[in-house]
Amino acid sequence: MASRIVRAACPHDCPDTCALLVTVEDGRAVKVAGDPDHPGTQGVLCTKVSRYAERTYHPDRLTTPMRRVGRKGEGKFVAISWDEALEEIATRLKGIAARDPQAILPYSYAGTMGLVQGDSMAARFFHKLGASLLDRTICASAGATGLRYTYGASVGMDMEHVPDAKLVIIWGGNPIASNLHFWTRAQEAKRRGATLVAIDPYHSLTAEKCHRHIAPMPGTDGALALSLIHVLIRDDLLDHNYIDRHTVGFDALAERASQFPPAVAAEICGIPAEDIEWLAGLYGQLAVRERQPVAIRLNYGMQRAHGGGQAVRAVACLPSLVGAWRHAAGGLQLSTSGFFPVDNAALQRPDLLPGWPKQPRTVNMSTIGDALLDEGGAAGPKIEALVVYNSNPVAVAPDSRKVAAGFAREDLFTVVLEHFRTDTADYADILLPATTQLEHIDIHKAYGHTYFLANNAAVAPLGEALPNTEIFRRLARRMDFAEPCFADSDEDIAAQAIVRGDARAQGISWASLKEQGWQKLSLPAAPFAEGGFPSPSGKCEFYSETMAREGLDPVPAYVPPYEAPATAPELAARYPLAMISPPARNFLNSSFVNVDSLRATEGEPHLDIHPEDAAARGIVHGAMVRAFNDRGSMLARARVTDRARQGLVVGLSIWWKKLATDGKNANELTSQRLTDLGRAPVFYDCLVQVEACTEGAALTS
């Protein structure tokens, strides 16, 4: 039997971006394992991706192009040839573009994080067409914007040093489920004597294993961070030398933080003031008095509320106040993606836009429900065609009832590139089979470490599946796009991805990556020990001149949730429980929900509710419950548990709607309102009521 090992990379939306070794026997991938030599992966994959072969060879894989024959959303299709599919798409897009190309909208996100199969040929295609631009905000843009205004870019400490930290604060994430390789390092730090603290409204698996858990109500993290700053300043737990040399705006920050003494913040956050005093005291004592490394692993959960951007800014000030950046094992990481010198202009060719540098209108992916239901006007035409790739918006976009109504429009021409018949694929007019990571090449950066990785193709495409790049390459030919870039091979594109001559990527190229699998950027171990932030001032900006110029509050602020008793008392009277929907351990956004073994482990949609909130509603453990608000409802099996703090319910996500109890998921309840910075969705700024329901009544409701 011919057996070989192929070097690959995990394509999923996860900070760990693991290096994979794929065992191929007689042309079939039989094993996907973590590369033991890659310092990030250390030979370990999460349960999800260790099942990647099961996903790739799943009997439901799409292997031919298909045309819809049933109602939109019904999921009835017949197989057609690639010729028929491409001809129909090109004809429809040409007709719409002749009237106004802005009536065409691409919709994509991080179904693959690869720079080639993500947005290279696809972006070139839509730029040349003059289609509407998509504001890709659905996950991280509030936090990314907060970081950009503070540090200048999405940059932070290197998690490889975390085992040397003496305090690790895990804020707004559950790494056991979604940042596994950071978690192994945090555990190593714990073994070496570090204190681990979780800040999360939910008592997650991670919080359970930390020394202390602080559980603020969702959307109140900004107040907590400002109160920590208050205590650090009040008690002079500050690195004055670092502040003087490497920050701007200390006085403005001190003035803002003075409004958040622990008693005030405790009231806002719904936590004991003592938690704030204790954490600030420990953080400052270790960092300033004992000169020990203290690390913050910030994650995206805490920025999914109205004030998410400013909350990230407030947290991001902490390591500069205590000089934590002086150590390799100190500082903060939300993302490392800003370190990577990626040549987006070469990959995506915005210069192909008709009238460049003038831009067509931009549609925010987080409000796709409203956008699809909009009749058009001064801001741009009605959307007539939607091309979805690397995303499943009918399941993952907020305010799902409106999203589904938009996708159900009979006058909307929808093309979906997919591996499976997802909730979104069911609404496609033309459904195209895309290759998985094992069947195409790609090049990857990361947002949780600082290695570039190569993904070599391990096996031939299944059936008639094609890489995204090849689909758009063929479509470009049908549209008579003559620019040479539309003839670039995937190898050509991969070779264009890294900015030439950038010192950080010295010695790294597509050619070397293909051979070696991964290579680390050249960066100092403690990147901001001597300041040098990529901000306009080169310093950590407590006060941002850029924000002031843009009419924004230039100092980190607490922006309360849209939906909370203090800001919306009438709404809170009707819907008194805050709901969050963080990732289920066996799903990755909506990927893997259809992998039987993983879905079996999750069981069915659950809603975790505190015993007192359950008792007040006559809800017993295991009962079917209905969560609802003005936007919609969903059914779930109640788990009565103090993992959910009082006043909070938690629905681990993201279920495919058609595989959920009642064909609905948590996004029936979430809203299309946007964050203070970054135009991002507020998935965790969501009030609901919950009621017990009998099983029969529930399933017919």
Q: Which residues bind ligand SF4 (CB under 6 A)?
A: 10, 12, 14, 16-18, 45-46, 48-49, 180, 588
CB of 48 to ligand SF4, least distance (A): 6
122's tokens: 């696809």
**Residue 307: which of 370, 216, 246, 397 has the closest Cα?**
216
Contact (CB, 8 A) for 151 and 313: no
| Angstrom distance (rounded) from CA 444 to CA 455 | 8
Cα–Cα distances in angstroms (integers) from residue 312 to residues 144, 222, 491, 558, 699, in the given order: 9, 7, 38, 10, 41
Q: Of 49 and 635, which has the nearer Cβ to ligand SF4? A: 49
Query: Is the dihedral angle over the CA atoms 113, 114, 120, 121 positive or is it negative?
Result: negative
CB of 598 to ligand SF4, least distance (A): 12
Q: Of 48 and 161, which has the nearer Cβ to ligand SF4? A: 48
Pairing of strands 430-433, 66-68: antiparallel
CB of 184 to ligand SF4, least distance (A): 10
Q: Of 18 and 134, which has the nearer Cβ to ligand SF4? A: 18
CB of 188 to ligand SF4, least distance (A): 17
Q: Of 32 and 223, which has the nearer Cβ to ligand SF4? A: 32
Task: Give the 3-state secondary structure of residue 231.
Answer: helix
Q: Of 17 and 150, which has the nearer Cβ to ligand SF4? A: 17
Q: Of 17 and 292, which has the nearer Cβ to ligand SF4? A: 17
3-state helix, strand and coil shares in percent for the chain, rounded to the nearest 5: 35, 20, 45
CB of 449 to ligand SF4, least distance (A): 10
Q: Which residue has the tokens 């070599």?
A: 456
Q: Of 20 and 686, which has the nearer Cβ to ligand SF4? A: 20
Cα–Cα distances in angstroms (integers) from residue 53 to residues 22, 24, 43, 444, 462, in the given order: 9, 10, 17, 20, 12
**Residue 283: which of 332, 327, 318 has the closest Cα?**
318
- Cβ atoms < 10 Å from Cβ of 415: 23
Q: Of 583 and 605, which has the nearer Cβ to ligand SF4? A: 583
CB of 16 to ligand SF4, least distance (A): 4
| Angstrom distance (rounded) from CA 495 to CA 454 | 11
CB of 85 to ligand SF4, least distance (A): 31
Q: Of 6 and 276, which has the nearer Cβ to ligand SF4? A: 6
Beta-carbon contacts of residue 242 (< 8 Å; ≥ 6 apart) = 320, 322, 323, 325, 326
225's tokens: 């961070």
CB of 15 to ligand SF4, least distance (A): 7
Q: Of 578 and 588, which has the nearer Cβ to ligand SF4? A: 588
CB of 333 to ligand SF4, least distance (A): 15
| Angstrom distance (rounded) from CA 592 to CA 607 | 20
End-to-end CA distance of the chain: 55
Backbone angles phi, psi at 473, to 5 degrees: -60, -45
CB of 448 to ligand SF4, least distance (A): 8
